Amino acid sequence: MPKPKKTDPEKVLTPAQKEGAQRLLERKQGRNWLKLDKGDGDRDYRPAESDAGLAMVQAMEATGMPDLDAASKLIAQTVNATADAHNLKNANAAISMLQGIGPQDGLEGMLACQMVAVHNMAAECARRAMITERTEAADRYIQQSTKLMNVFTRQIEALQKYRTKGQQKITVQHVNVGHGGQAIVGNVHQGVGEGEKK
């Protein structure tokens, strides 16, 4: 991907784009985003943060894990489930995806790691389907990508269900009441009234 030319953002961004950029910056504030640097080996990474204490907090916050060893393992698994994982940009992209999910505990961290892996595999299968010249190979890649995308959708649903403890919330945004009609606002409980048989 070519690097964009540096321009004055005040001259380029529309008001809606500026508002979107501001929301993104506000979302990132207050979070210690983990970034990786190259380590000694081909697929060996270490936190870019030089302060060991802050690096430890970043790793645990990125994964939702309360333990540094578990957090380190999850980070390694997330990076290694990425195509071309020896590329530092790809490794950091995988970690950013993990952090974008925002795991709040170890279970969410493990699910987020799996979600990143499944997303990467689905995208890789889709890419291969587009570049192959063999129809049967393209069909196989499309089928595999579709299956993986369905898994990803189920993972999102599982994460939402876990975060809401299985509760569903329905918000009614519009209520139309016709002429002479009545609307009740509040909690309505249907039960047996006084004097009625149970």
What is the DSSP secondary-structure string of 84-123? TTTSHHHHHHHHHHHHHH---SHHHHHHHHHHHHHHHHHH
**Dihedral sign (CA 69, 59, 92, 142):** positive
Residue 20 lies in a domain: no
Please report which confidence band the pLDDT of residue 18 belongs to, taking 50, 70 and 90 as the band edges: confident
| pLDDT tens-place string over residues 107-139 | 999 999 999 999 999 999 999 999 999 999 999
Would the pLDDT of 8 be above 80?
no
Residue 2 lies in a domain: no
Would the pLDDT of 11 be above 90?
no
Phi, psi of 47, deg, nearest 5: -60, 140
Would the pLDDT of 71 be above 80?
yes
Whether the Cβ atoms of residue 168 and residue 157 lie closer than 8 Å to each other: no
Beta strands in the chain (DSSP E): 36-38, 45-47
Residue 149 lies in a domain: yes
The per-residue pLDDT of the chain, averaged, comes to 85
Total count of domains within the chain:
1
| pLDDT tens-place string over residues 26-54 | 766 666 688 898 888 766 788 888 888 98
Please give the average per-residue pLDDT across 66-75, as a whole number.
94
**pTM of the model as a whole:** 0.72
Residue 23 lies in a domain: no
Residue 147 lies in a domain: yes
Kindly state the tokens that stand for 16: 């809606």
Residue 197 lies in a domain: no
Residue 112 lies in a domain: yes
Q: Which domain holds residue 112?
A: 30-163
Residue 181 lies in a domain: no
